[in-house]
């Protein structure tokens, strides 16, 4: 891999991150390699860095990891899903009896992991709201914690917390700071540059963005943390498939373009939602009136394509969906399709029945906004 010049913009970085030096006669982007064992020949395993077995080393994962690590500003390890990455970040570094601080209002599967698996293994888990973690850090209440995991912007409420401030507190407390950067992506926020020890991504979402694969990653600037995570992945086998890693790398090339359209649409969508009588509680951190506005615009590098808002109840959501052609009912977010998810139907988030997470796709902004207006008028 060659490191990119510091001055290159996000479009250039999206395409060129992780590229190998050009070799005449080879493709611009390597094809996926399908192999479980590799030839050993008459040499000992891994002689001169040769790949031996795909669970522990694989050229297609490395290409994806080089690209994502370049954007994150650290060394990256890919995992089979976002949850496999979150599990690795926490479980590889936290032991029985350790104190682990998690968001009370973040991605619900992370809370299920803690409740059903980590607590069972003797980890002392504490849940703190995303907007409250700054106060906990400022009070010095992180002393004795082994790890703090933040999710910012949080999912689905889009609350934001000050990563640099919490990083100073975790460092002082001797704890590790991990940030779930899924919603922002490495182009929207750089947790490692803000002082986090690890950044975690559910690359199933906007980073790959085509709603056709599951993938996750962890990046870190610490060699020690990297080695521990690599050991965890080797032992647990939570590696991605070669085809998914290749698709993920391919999809990343358009990240800058996709995020730009999603953000443009999100700005228009947030405005329409905020001005419509059928809607309450609009959240989008780039609305000047949003409680996260000041911090998000200071800490983040660009807006996200996710907006949340509330309709009156479940029946209002049904009328909205029946009247819409472009707002497809689906969970997940960050993909090329505009989608909307009634979060209460999953039972994991503390939200009212009519709470919706809108994920703006890359269709024409005018079409998506016109469809939104029509569907809201039908509510």
Return residues touching ligand PLP (CB under 6 A).
81-83, 86, 107, 109, 151, 155, 180, 182, 202, 204-205, 214, 216
CB of 323 to ligand PLP, least distance (A): 27
**CA 313 to CA 69: how far, in whole Å?**
42
Q: Check if the beta carbon of residue 357 is closer than 8 Å to that of residue 310.
A: no
For ligand PLP, which is the closer residue by CB, 51 or 65? 65
CB of 304 to ligand PLP, least distance (A): 11
Angle between helices 82-91 and 223-236 (to 10 degrees): 120
Q: Check if the beta carbon of residue 85 is closer than 8 Å to that of residue 230.
A: no
For ligand PLP, which is the closer residue by CB, 182 or 220? 182
Longest dimension (CA), the chain: 74
Q: Sign of the CA dihedral 328, 332, 334, 340? A: positive
Catalytic, out of 16, 46, 55, 319: 55
**CA 319 to CA 272: how far, in whole Å?**
18
**CA 345 to CA 247: how far, in whole Å?**
31
Active site residue 205: yes
CB neighbours of residue 313 within 10 Å: 12
CB of 194 to ligand PLP, least distance (A): 17
For ligand PLP, which is the closer residue by CB, 93 or 213? 213
Catalytic, out of 13, 75, 146, 205: 205
Active site residue 105: no
**CA 80 to CA 70: how far, in whole Å?**
20
Residues 6 or more apart whose Cβ sits within 8 Å of residue 142: 101, 136, 148, 169, 170, 172, 173, 175
For ligand PLP, which is the closer residue by CB, 105 or 151? 151
Active site residue 42: no
Catalytic, out of 66, 105, 159, 180: 180
Active site residue 135: no
For ligand PLP, which is the closer residue by CB, 285 or 316? 285
Angle between helices 255-274 and 365-378 (to 10 degrees): 30
CB of 252 to ligand PLP, least distance (A): 15
CB of 79 to ligand PLP, least distance (A): 9
What is the set of active-site residues?
55, 107, 180, 205
């Amino acid at each position: 891999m060659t490191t990119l010049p510091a001055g290159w913009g996000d479009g250039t970085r999206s395409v060129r991150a992780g590229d190998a030096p050009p070799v005449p006669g080879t493709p611009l982007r390597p094809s996926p390699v399908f192999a479980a064992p590799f030839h050993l020949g008459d040499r000992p395993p891994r002689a001169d860095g040769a790949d031996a077995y795909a669970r522990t080393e694989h050229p297609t994962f490395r290409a994806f990891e080089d690209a994502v690590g370049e954007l994150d500003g650290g060394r990256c390890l890919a995992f089979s899903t976002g949850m496999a990455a979150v599990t690795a970040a926490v479980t590889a570094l936290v032991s029985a009896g350790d104190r682990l601080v998690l968001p009370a209002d973040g991605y619900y599967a992370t809370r299920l992991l803690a409740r059903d698996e980590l607590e069972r293994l003797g980890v002392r888990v504490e849940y703190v709201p995303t907007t409250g973690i700054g106060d906990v850090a400022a009070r010095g209440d992180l002393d004795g914690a082994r790890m703090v995991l933040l999710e910012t912007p949080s999912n689905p409420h889009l609350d934001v917390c000050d990563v640099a401030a919490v990083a100073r507190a975790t460092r002082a407390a001797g704890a590790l700071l991990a940030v779930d950067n899924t919603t922002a992506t490495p182009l929207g926020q750089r947790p490692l540059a803000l002082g986090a020890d690890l950044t975690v991504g559910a690359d199933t979402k906007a980073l790959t963005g085509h709603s056709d694969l599951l993938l996750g990653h962890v990046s870190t600037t610490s060699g020690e943390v990297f080695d521990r995570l690599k050991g965890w992945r080797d032992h647990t086998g939570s590696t991605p498939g070669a085809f998914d890693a290749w698709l993920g790398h391919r999809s990343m090339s358009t990240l800058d373009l996709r995020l730009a359209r999603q953000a443009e649409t999100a700005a228009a969508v947030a405005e329409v939602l905020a001005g419509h009588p059928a809607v309450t509680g609009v959240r989008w951190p780039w609305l000047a009136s949003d409680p996260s506005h000041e911090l998000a615009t200071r800490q983040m590098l660009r807006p996200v394509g996710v907006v949340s808002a509330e309709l009156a109840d479940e029946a209002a959501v049904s009328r909205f969906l029946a009247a819409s052609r472009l707002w497809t009912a689906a969970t997940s977010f960050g993909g090329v399709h505009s989608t909307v998810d009634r979060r209460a139907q999953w039972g994991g988030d503390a939200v009212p029945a009519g709470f919706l997470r809108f994920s703006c796709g890359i269709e024409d902004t005018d079409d998506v906004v016109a469809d939104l207006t029509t569907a809201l008028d039908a509510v």
